[in-house]
Homo-oligomer: A and B are copies of this chain.
Amino acid sequence: MKTNEISRNFKNIQNKIIKAIKTLDSTIVKKLSTWKHKTGGGGISCEMQGSKYIDKAAVNFSSIVGDKLPPSALQKSGVRGLNKFRATGVSVIIHPSNPKTACAHMNIRFFEAKVNKKDVWWFGGGFDLTPYFINKSDIYYWKNSAKELCDKYKKGMYREYNENCNNYFFLPHRNEPRGIGGLFYDQMNSPDYRTCKEFSLDCAETFKNSYSYLFDLKKDKTYTKKEKSFQLYRRGRYVEFNLLYDRGTLFGLQSGGRAESILMSLPPEVTWNKKYDFTKYENNLMEMLSLARK
């Protein structure tokens, strides 16, 4: 079973990212909890709260044995008549306090199953950035680090995975991108297991480094009540996306995962009412989001 090895690697990634988040905010308090999946395996969830720079972060690891693939996964995979599968993954979400720093998300996952005595496996994952206030240079920095990562592996990869990301992190009912994008890949199993594994671990590393860089750049910026309020309001879009469209969330809930862990990605505080006129902020943000898609 490849899953055993990958699980160990992913647990390592979880610990590395927890450490990195502690470096971003030294006031971080973490709450670890473990859970068992009803048909085998389980997970370790780490919820973090800081009193200085980070409102909430979650770094979750899971490795489950399932007996029936939920609809949200079947829809895409094309795999039919499957009885038993293993899935392992790490997911990270960071909701910073300062509205000038961006919310970010990273996820890597591995899926393995025997279908008609054949071993079927694939990797998936990616990362993306959801800013409330951002400038051009930060956008270029973020996109460039994603491109550099891909270029190490294969030409054309960045273009494809970045486009996937743009298509995936989109809210049709708002006609809005969720953020400035990044990478998104699924069912990756070529050229070979080793390369796919390296790429996935590299994804996590790249995410950790480039997010930390941007975070440190902005974390001490001053901000107004109105700017904070805009952040709380825009976080509503994040909730809408996660509950209406996110396959990871739906997969987790439908496969009987632990709701507390799956929904740990939801922001700590959210508003759906506009306390101020945000027109200017919204226009600026939309301009940056569309620039990021070019």
Shortest distance in angstroms between A47's beta carbon and chain B's nearest beta carbon?
9
Q: A240-B243, A240-B263, A243-B244 are in contact. List 5 more A-B contacts (CB 8 A).
A: A173-B259, A239-B243, A239-B270, A269-B273, A270-B270
Is A105 on the interface with B (CB-CB < 8 A)?
A: no
Say how many copies of this protein the assembly contains: 2
Closest residue on chain B to residue A273 by CB atoms: B268
Contacts of A172 in B (CB 8 A): 253
- Interface hits, A236-294 → B, CB 8 Å: 236, 239-240, 243-244, 253, 259, 262-263, 266-273
Known contacts A174-B259, A259-B174: A269-B271 contact under CB 8 Å: yes
Docked complex Cα distance between A263 and B272 (Å): 9
**Measured between C-beta atoms, what is the minimum distance from A249 to chain B in Å?**
9
Q: Is A45 an interface residue, CB under 8 A from the partner?
A: no
A143 in the interface (beta carbon within 8 A): no
CA A47 – CA B120 in complex, angstroms? Answer: 52
User: In residues 68-89 of chain A, which contact B (Cβ within 8 Å)?
Assistant: none
Taking beta carbons and an 8 Å cutoff, which residues of A are in contact with B?
49, 56, 172-174, 236, 239-240, 243-244, 253, 259, 262-263, 266-273
In the complex with contacts A174-B259, A244-B243, A244-B253, A269-B266 CB distance below 8 A: no
Would you give the shortest CB distance from A46 to chain B, in whole angstroms?
Answer: 14
The answer for the CA separation of A99 and B268 in the assembled complex, in Å, is 19
Contact B269 A270 (CB under 8 A): yes
A-B contact list, 11 entries, CB within 8 Å: A173-B259, A173-B262, A236-B266, A239-B270, A244-B244, A263-B272, A268-B271, A269-B269, A269-B272, A270-B270, A270-B272
Inter-chain contact A49/B240, CB cutoff 8 Å: no
- Cβ distance A57 to chain B, nearest Cβ, rounded Å: 12
Q: Measured between C-beta atoms, what is the minimum distance from A273 to chain B in Å?
A: 4
Q: Which residues of B contact A244 (CB under 8 A)?
A: 243-244, 253
A239-B239, A239-B243 given; A270·B271 CB < 8 A: yes
Known: A239-B243, A243-B240, A243-B244. A266 touches B259 (CB 8 A): no
Least Cβ–Cβ distance between A252 and chain B, in angstroms:
9
Complex alpha-carbon distance, A270 and B235, angstroms: 11
A56's closest neighbor in chain B, by CB?
B273
Report chain B residues within 8 Å CB of A239: 239, 243, 270
